[in-house]
Amino acid sequence: MAEILSSVVDAIGGTPLVRLDRLTAQAGVDGAILAKLEYLNPGFSKKDRAALGIIEEAEKSGAIKPGQTVVELTSGNMGTGLAIVCAVRGYPFVAVMSKGNSEERARMMTALGAEVILVDQLPGSVPGQVSGGDLALVEQAARAVTAERGAYRADQFHRDGNWLAHYHGTGPEIWDASHGAVDAFVDFIGSGGTYAGVARALKERNPLIKCFIVEPEGAAAAAGETITQPEHPIQGGGYAMPDLAFLTDAPVDGYLQVSGDEARETTRLLAHAEGIFAGFSSGANVAAALRLLRGDQAGKMIAVVICDSGLKYLSTDLWS
């Protein structure tokens, strides 16, 4: 039954799970892909869950004081989620982001009341392609701002509220909506929070479910591959960081690499075939799922996350 919510924060989570039967038919594969539509969260991305989880964790532990400024490094999605949660909970928010990310993200965070600090990329870096080196510069700036303002650092790469939001929310929601029929799960990693939370939740319910990490070709650090192309267009992840905290002891059945072109074309196919207007990383997830259905997961049911909205990439070549 519909109910009136006390704030937009209460609308985070509970997103639909949708079969991509038209897409799989066009691709000519045997099996099914279930897409968790996280772009229907209030901030148009899965990071709304992590933002709420981190702030609630800080409030419960007393790590954040009433009215204290919150600072976070972001590619835009986490910052948008934090801007929403902080606006409702009464915390000033400062987002620190690389200039390599799409400009829509900075505009959206500003509109939501955040202060946005943009950090230059490394010399020779390409706008729209944020490398691990670029992210390191953003991290330096975020630390400096946190110290200067006596702020609370949301630290999405280490705060347990990130992965726990998916462990308690996204994963169980996929299981319940599919009635436990999922055979595999794939996820393009940024902080690793979504992958770790969902994989743990699904494996606890059925250890036979296969869970795969997705990374960009040439930047597959988690898979132990040599980094040959740290710059790529799949924004929001693939930072070639080999020691992500949330992946420690997380169950992993395999690793898949997707090229920028493959992610781009699959994102467009997702829009044309299914009417799902998503971003690069969503295309990477679906491309990885299609590859599994062409291989040893043929005939199986694979769950993916639609990470964010295509509206955040109108200034990129995704929709040109």
Active-site residue set: 47, 281
pTM: 0.94
Q: What is the pLDDT of residues 13-30, one digit of tens each?
A: 999 999 999 999 999 999
Enter the tokens of residue 110: 């500003």
Residue 1's pLDDT band, with cuts at 50, 70 and 90, is low
Three-state secondary structure of 182-238: CCEEEEECCCCHHHHHHHHHHHHHCCCCEEEEEEECCCCCCCCCCCCCCCCCCCCCC
Q: What is the pLDDT of residues 228-256, one digit of tens each?
A: 988 888 988 898 888 999 999 999 999 99
Q: What is the pLDDT of residues 105-154, one digit of tens each?
A: 899 999 999 999 999 999 988 887 887 788 899 999 999 999 999 999 99
Q: What is the pLDDT of residues 258-308, one digit of tens each?
A: 999 999 999 999 999 999 999 999 999 999 999 999 999 999 999 999 999
Residue 168's pLDDT band, with cuts at 50, 70 and 90, is very high
Sort 213 into a burial class: Cβ within 10 Å, 0-12 / 13-18 / 19+.
Answer: buried
What's the pLDDT score for residue 210? Answer: 98
